[in-house]
């Protein structure tokens, strides 16, 4: 949709569209009520600024909408569709990679108490595994900051998809 179409949506529809980008109510609400935006770059600036305010509890809550890296989402809807496309760089036939991701996901969850989240779009399975292994050495505070950064990248990429605007970089 074009920015003009986004601006014209009723508030609840705008928030629902934004929720498919990231399930953080404060983010969807602020972006919806700040309309109208003159151009997509204005929306993206607001989105970036609002993402910087996410709390640990908001980040943890938003992770519920994301499958583990290497697992396909089982749900339906826009968020699940995004996840399917974003993890398209993983080869489901690569049993060794799938096993290593599964073991890495378990180690990550045991250490940090949440799923491993990384921007998968544009990355191969091997890259995602290498990032997972690198991040396993982080302390909890550092890893929470990295998770927040990755969640924001995902949200901005999904916002780009929502607007179907190639002139705005996330």
User: How many other C-beta atoms can be found within 10 angstroms of the C-beta atom of residue 146?
Assistant: 16
pLDDT tens sequence across 72-127: 655 555 555 554 455 555 667 778 998 999 999 999 999 999 999 999 888 888 99
In a domain, 169, yes or no: no
Number of domains in the chain: 1
Catalytic residue check, 82: no
Mean pLDDT of 14-34: 96
Residue closest to 158 by CA, chosen among 93, 78, 61: 78
Residue 56: give the domain boundaries: 3-163
Strand runs labelled E in 72-129: none
In a domain, 134, yes or no: yes
**First-to-last C-alpha distance (Å) of the chain:** 17
**What CATH number is attached to the domain comprising 45?**
1.10.3330.10
SS3 137: coil
Catalytic residue, from 66, 82, 123, 158: name it: 66
What CA–CA distance (Å, rounded) separates 14 from 71? 29
Residue closest to 68 by CA, chosen among 22, 111, 108, 95: 108
In a domain, 170, yes or no: no
């Amino acid at each position: 949709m074009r920015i003009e179409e986004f601006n014209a949506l009723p508030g609840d529809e705008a928030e629902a569209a934004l929720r498919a980008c990231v399930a953080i109510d404060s983010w969807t609400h602020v972006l919806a009520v700040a309309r109208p935006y003159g151009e997509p770059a204005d929306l993206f600036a607001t989105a970036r600024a609002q993402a910087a305010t996410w709390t640990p509890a908001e980040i943890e809550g938003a992770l519920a909408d994301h499958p583990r890296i290497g697992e396909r989402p089982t749900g339906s809807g826009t968020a699940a569709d995004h996840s399917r496309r974003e993890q398209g760089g993983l080869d489901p036939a690569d049993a060794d990679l799938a096993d290593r991701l599964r073991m890495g996901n378990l180690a990550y969850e045991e250490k940090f108490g949440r799923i491993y989240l990384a921007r998968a779009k544009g990355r191969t399975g091997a890259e995602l595994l290498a990032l997972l292994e690198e991040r396993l050495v982080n302390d909890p505070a550092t890893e929470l900051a990295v998770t927040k950064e990755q969640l924001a990248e995902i949200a901005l990429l999904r916002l780009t998809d929502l607007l179907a605007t190639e002139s705005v970089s996330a």
